[in-house]
Amino acid sequence: MPVEIPEGVEIKLEFGQVIIKGPKGEIKRIYDEGWIKVKKTDQGLKVEMAKEGRTANTMQGTMRAHLNNMVKGVTEGWKKSLEVVGAGYRAEAQGDKLILTVGFSHPVEIKMPKGLNATVEKNIINLEGADKEVVGQIAAIVRSKRPPEPYKGAGIKYTDEIIRRKAGKQAGKAEA
């Protein structure tokens, strides 16, 4: 199944590397030419197996998914939203840095990689970029600085994440 190439997207194939340019940015990906071949056709990008076998089959499907994500990233972009919950917890975007005040004795600074944009509105952190992997990885790094705890729910969580809450000590005494 070919990956469709929308208007305004440029694709270069050279020496086991795919370079996709679009309005939101440029993404490069290296692939193993021993297992798969990427070809540009009239329908779009096609990924074919260079060898027969289970590994080549899995590489073909994985590379096709990566190429589809890359095309979507350079046209529409990817976005992750995180919510900062807790008394005194806050986030602030300054240039290419995200500064978190989340209960430590010092503010936590996270440097944003090139091509990733961080904005903060009230207590919501929005991360936007063309590369799905980079957006997801930086979102995971931000969340790991203060993961939500199960008793009060304080911490940094994804906006669509549901935190399972625990009752705590007082609930156990009331039942006894």
Integer Cα distance of 151 and 149 in angstroms: 6
pLDDT, position 175: 57
* 46 lies in the same domain as 111: no
CA distances from 104 to 5, 85, 90 (A): 47, 15, 12
* 28 lies in the same domain as 100: no
pLDDT, position 10: 92
Q: Which residues pair with residue 92 across a beta bridge?
A: 99
* 65 lies in the same domain as 136: no
Element (H or E) spanning 47, and its range? strand 45-49
131: domain CATH number is 3.90.930.12
Q: What average pLDDT does this structure show over 14-42? A: 91
pLDDT, position 173: 62
CA dihedral 18, 114, 116, 58 (to 10 degrees): 30
Q: Collapsing DSSP states into helix, strand and coil, what is residue 149?
A: coil
Instruction: Note the pTM of the prediction, 2 decimals.
Output: 0.86
Integer Cα distance of 39 and 55 in angstroms: 19
* 87 lies in the same domain as 71: no
Comparing CA positions, the residue from 3, 1, 33 lying closest to residue 20 is: 3
Question: pLDDT tens digit string along 65-121?
Answer: 999 999 999 999 999 999 999 999 999 999 899 999 999 999 999 999 998 999 999
**Residue 57 is assigned to a structural domain of this protein:** yes
* 82 lies in the same domain as 134: yes
Q: Which domain holds residue 129?
A: 78-158
* 101 lies in the same domain as 146: yes
